[in-house]
Structure 1
Amino acid sequence: MGSTRRRFTDEYKAEAVGFVIEGNRSIAEVARNIGVHEMTLGKWVKKERDARAAAVPADAPLIESERSELIRLRAELKDRDAENAELRMQVEFAKKVATWFAKEKQ
């Protein structure tokens, strides 16, 4: 006794995805409201977002929110790079101290 699989029209999927993307609502909330499993709706949303991303040319100008996110991410990367450099210096210092102590013990 197999279960029957529900089928959804492309229009239904597009409207459900629109609730998430254009409506700025969570996948879980929309899935609950329309009676679809979260994973199913999540796949529809991912497919649409991937299609939209592929439709935008790589050299297209950034919109303001993308530009601000890029600035934020670059600043975050700079901070992380500085933190990594500091940690590398600490590791090198610890190696030198360990070498010095090892020579002292001999």
Structure 2
Amino acid sequence: MAGFDDRKKGQEGKFAHDQEMEFKVMVRRNKLLGLWVAELLGKTGADAEAYAKEVIISDMEEKGDEDVFRKVRGDLDAANVEMSDHRVRRQMEELLASAREQIAAGN
């Protein structure tokens, strides 16, 4: 019975760790996305960092990526920056892969 309990605790610990890592990856992806969009909007320095934080916070509205997409899409549209939905979503995917690599490397 002790072996079963140990295995159960190990699986619960792994699940918690995996969830924490996924959260960190998504926060990193959203920051990278925010910095990318900030550059397109002509923001630099502290303004770019502040915008990236807005993008990170926008991900707390609902599960999934649609809240983040709506945020950046709306901001790009408001600034008259021409960018297709496909390009924004593709950038999100590419930055997700970059974020996973960075987090895995301990950066």
Task: Tell whether the structures are fold-level matches, with TM greater than 0.5.
Answer: no
Higher relative contact order (CA 8 A, sep 6+): 2
| Greater fraction of residues in helix | 2
TM-score, structure 1 as length reference: 0.38
